[in-house]
Structure 1
Amino acid sequence: MEPRTTMTYLDHGATSYPKPDGVIEAYYEYAKNVGASPSRGGYATALEAGRLIFKTRSLLAQLFHVEDPSRIIFTKNATEALNLVFFGLLKHGDRVVTTRMEHNAVIRPLIELQRRGVIEVFWANSTQDARLDLDHLFELAKKPGVKLVVTTGICNATGVILPIREIGKFCREHDLIYLVDGAQLAGVYPVNVEEDMIDLLAFTGHKGLYGVPGTGGLYIGERVQKLRPLLFGGTGTRSDLETMPEDMPDRFEAGTPNTPGIVALGKGVEWVLS
């Protein structure tokens, strides 16, 4: 007989494991007994798929204190959500302020847009104890032409929690859009998009929300009016249009969604809320 070994899993910052009871079961239950695509038919299982997606959307809205669940769109992860913002919001000549504490999901898209000559990026320094130099960030954000401030919520490398409410208040007072990379934040630390004055919140499903890989999303606040889709295609609604519909969330959810993953994510969010 092989000797029995026990693993103590600590890498939750990469992916949470094991998942709470019901998460994996919900994935397989959907795949086995529902299986249909939402918004692509009027039969029972297609309607059930749509209902289950709306349930997860509503649970996320409850978690983040979002009044209108349609302002939460699903993506395959936080990286896609962040890219949607960077490539869908920023235009030639815009300036962006961020920090030196960011994940490559923020750094690389911004560097690419700067390399193309589209934007200019300013980097707020960190202090000697690895915290954000908030005064430096505010100083940079006052530069003319700054459109977007983006910060992580919790640094994935150090675990430092950023003062998002203080940053959000500053951005609101100076008419700047505030994007939070909530990959490490969601489900781990309380988030209230209204009180924290967050305009855009990117999140992933497989970390602190205890869902499965391949799930994530983006909260889009009412102050963000001119965000262009990153992907174009079928939405299951307004198929008569040659362009993407204006309605949320359909405008940003082209293609067949990862419905079993989204259903499993809902179970993870239920567990967090409990």
Structure 2
Amino acid sequence: MNKCVIVRGGGDIATGTIYKLVKSGFQVLVLEVEKPSAIRRNVAFCQAVYEQKFTVEDMTCVLVSTIEEAKKIMAKNQVAMMIDPSGEMISKIEHIALVDAILAKKNLGTTIDMAPITIGLGPGFCAGKDVHVVVETMRGHNLGRLIYQGYALPNTGVPGNIKGYSKERVIHSPCAGVCHNVKKITDIVEKGEIIAYIDKTPVYASMSGLLRGLIQDGYNVTSGFKWQILILEWMNIRIVLQFLTRHVVLVEVFWRRYCMVYLDQAATSFPKLDVVKQAVMDALDVAGNANRSSNMDSSRLIFAARRNIAQFFGLSDFHRVILNGGNTESLNTCIKGILKENDHVITTYAEHNSVLRPLYELEEKGIITLTICAPYLEDIKCHIQKNTRMVIMTHSSNVTGEIFDVDLIGQYCKECGVLFMVDAAQSAGHIPVSMENIDVLCFSGHKGLLGIAGIGGFCVKDMEVKPLISGGTGIDSFNPQMPKAYPEHLEAGTQNIVGIAALNAGIQYVQSHQKEIVEKECFLLQKLYEGLSGYVEFYSSLENSTPIVAINIPGKDSAYVSDLLNYKYGIVTRCGAHCAPLMHKHLKTEERGIVRLSISFQNTIEDIDFVVRAIQEISNDY
């Protein structure tokens, strides 16, 4: 089978394409010009033209002069390169696809009939006419999009904005002549420092920063030829960054630890507290399997966790604290284990799919009838029926952060003899939660309660719940049914000791610092609203809310804004539908989605100031 792909151009973007093709099992022949002008030469296979062979990551490109040599190199899973600017080899070697990755911003001669599949990267190609497919290369929301008809976005000619710098990042040659480099790629330079000479004319750094690209030494440049440098805002870590730029894995670790601004706390808490990390490490040294070993350490740990959770939520019987894999499992267990045939259930448009989908399933099977209304007492009152068995609702919206009056609704349900189940995934840990008027409380362990992923549970008062799954419990082994005793009745299988340890540490921390947590989060929330006012559309409110701000920038898709915040500014948010389709229908954001900024007490005022500046810049400039 022919697996050869011809790639025209060997610059940095072309190299990424080539690398992926080879790793996917294709053989690649690269066609280059006699003197490539790539400036990001450290990550460009075209450097093989100057050095005969060049390695990027774990892949080597070898310059060859004949088709026979090229085939031998490709058979070794290496990249073959030939100097062929006019593409004469395209008709001389069998291939299944051709990729024009020259990135010249215009078509330099590629035609759709050059291969069974022709692909053009970036502007200058018309999909369906010049090539079969165009790949969008403009940074932003559409980066990587496949275009089957028409053109990619045109080249703006303006360098991307990084930390407020755009045109300053590009250095243009002051004259024509031969380049003699003084600096090398990854060097840190000061504004006004000489980085190269064109013949005898010096080329000065236009700003302070890290030298990201540099033309090949000895290259004959034209007047106006460009270099690029990347600004570094944190001047005190220059030496560290200079080292890290050569070590990609360490750069990622460094970025995540020191530079990322994390505003997706509603998805999962980050970073994990030191006390939680230590609890995880300590749990790894705990011997035995709870209820199944003569060593009682793991059983004691789980006992302590149940007791602390019961105390935290105000549940009198800690045996009724059920621990499992998370809130979704809890909701499914309770919905399917409590509701019976002909029951009527009320839920609200504010719910997560982990509530809605199990209810839809029971409704489709004809087991229950379902009413969906607004998450307020007066609306719920209007829908109570004689056979209403349960009201199920969230304590606070995972989209807008709005807190609903579950205490008042719980009192009403109690008066009506209706069970009341609350999803506290978004509220627990951020605001006080009490089971005084709640029959079933489901919670997530890795969000506001600060544990790790894969742990959660529910608290249930004195009622029967059928197990969702059956299996070993460590007790009553000769009983063909699950034990009647709680919590074993609802806990089949080996417990997640590490997750329970993390949850136990997290919930103790929250219990000890609840007042400070609420005050800090309210302060940061207010600053975020103040900074964004006038720049965004709000779908949330400062009053009566968990630390969530739901926004959109007028005229911009939520995914575009969230991607831009992530890739340009290092700000992590959540966009889209948030697994809450009815809330988005209520807000009329089904198509556009919402950008959710969710904070916690672990964020800082510096985080908030940076996010505000970033969103203001996006609102003004994009």
Give the TM-score, by structure 2 length: 0.41
Aligned with 1:137 (options 365, 373, 380): 380
The one-letter amino acid paired with 1:245 is: P
Separation of aligned partners in 1, 2:287 and 2:505: 17
Separation of aligned partners in 2, 1:200 and 1:75: 15
The answer on whether the counterparts of 1:180 and 1:202 sit within 8 Å (CA) in structure 2 is yes
| 1:37-81 deviation line (CA, Å, top 9, x unaligned) | 111022x3xx00000011111111111011111111001111100
Shift of 1:28: 2.0
- 1:212 aligns with 452
Give yes or no for the alignment of 1:192 onto 2:434. Answer: yes
Shift of 1:134: 2.6
Separation of aligned partners in 2, 1:102 and 1:63: 24
Q: Secondary structure at 1:109's aligned position in 2?
A: helix
Aligned with 1:34 (options 286, 289, 313): 286
Q: Secondary structure at 2:459's aligned position in 1?
A: strand
Residue identity over aligned pairs, in percent, reads 39
The one-letter amino acid paired with 1:38 is: A
Give yes or no for the alignment of 1:75 onto 2:324. Answer: yes
Aligned with 2:303 (options 50, 54, 63): 54
Greater percentage in strand = 2
The answer on whether the counterparts of 1:20 and 1:271 sit within 8 Å (CA) in structure 2 is no
Q: Secondary structure at 2:315's aligned position in 1?
A: coil
Shift of 1:257: 0.7
Separation of aligned partners in 2, 1:57 and 1:255: 17
Give yes or no for the alignment of 1:24 onto 2:256. Answer: no
Shift of 1:219: 0.4
The answer on whether the counterparts of 1:152 and 1:180 sit within 8 Å (CA) in structure 2 is yes
Shift of 1:133: 3.8
Give the TM-score, by structure 1 length: 0.92
Aligned with 1:11 (options 238, 260, 264): 264
Q: Secondary structure at 2:382's aligned position in 1?
A: helix
- 2:484 aligns with 246
Aligned with 2:359 (options 93, 98, 110): 110
Separation of aligned partners in 1, 2:421 and 2:431: 17
- 1:96 aligns with 345
- 1:169 aligns with 411
Shift of 1:159: 0.5
Give yes or no for the alignment of 1:202 onto 2:455. Answer: no
Q: CA RMSD in A?
A: 1.2
Separation of aligned partners in 2, 1:139 and 1:198: 20
The one-letter amino acid paired with 1:173 is: E
11-20 vs 22-31, greater mean Cα deviation: 22-31
List gaps (5 residues or longer) in structure 1: 126-131
Q: Secondary structure at 1:121's aligned position in 2?
A: strand
The answer on whether the counterparts of 2:470 and 2:482 sit within 8 Å (CA) in structure 1 is yes
Separation of aligned partners in 1, 2:292 and 2:403: 42
Q: How many residues align?
A: 259
Q: Secondary structure at 2:261's aligned position in 1?
A: coil
Separation of aligned partners in 1, 2:278 and 2:288: 17
List gaps (5 residues or longer) in structure 2: 1-241, 246-253, 513-622
Shift of 1:23: 0.7
Which has the higher relative contact order, 1 or 2, with Cα contacts under 8 A spaced 6 or more apart? Answer: 1
The one-letter amino acid paired with 1:198 is: I
The answer on whether the counterparts of 2:390 and 2:418 sit within 8 Å (CA) in structure 1 is yes
Give yes or no for the alignment of 1:147 onto 2:389. Answer: yes
The one-letter amino acid paired with 1:119 is: I
Q: Secondary structure at 1:268's aligned position in 2?
A: helix
| 1:217-263 deviation line (CA, Å, top 9, x unaligned) | 010112x2x32111111101111211111111010000001011101
Separation of aligned partners in 2, 1:108 and 1:140: 20
The one-letter amino acid paired with 2:393 is: T
Q: Secondary structure at 2:262's aligned position in 1?
A: coil
| 1:108-163 deviation line (CA, Å, top 9, x unaligned) | 111111111111110113xxxxxx3431111112x121101001001101101000
Q: Secondary structure at 2:371's aligned position in 1?
A: strand
Separation of aligned partners in 2, 1:71 and 1:188: 23
Aligned with 1:231 (options 465, 469, 478): 469
The one-letter amino acid paired with 2:439 is: D
The answer on whether the counterparts of 2:426 and 2:448 sit within 8 Å (CA) in structure 1 is yes
The answer on whether the counterparts of 2:349 and 2:372 sit within 8 Å (CA) in structure 1 is yes
The answer on whether the counterparts of 2:376 and 2:405 sit within 8 Å (CA) in structure 1 is no
Separation of aligned partners in 2, 1:272 and 1:93: 41
- 1:157 aligns with 399
Give yes or no for the alignment of 1:180 onto 2:422. Answer: yes
Shift of 1:100: 0.4
63-72 vs 132-141, greater mean Cα deviation: 132-141
Separation of aligned partners in 2, 1:148 and 1:158: 25
Q: Highest Rg: 1 or 2? A: 2
The answer on whether the counterparts of 2:377 and 2:408 sit within 8 Å (CA) in structure 1 is no
Q: Closer, same or farther in 2 for the Cα pair 1:243/1:186, shift >3 Å?
A: same
Separation of aligned partners in 1, 2:387 and 2:470: 29
Separation of aligned partners in 2, 1:120 and 1:21: 47
Q: Secondary structure at 1:203's aligned position in 2?
A: strand
Shift of 1:193: 0.7
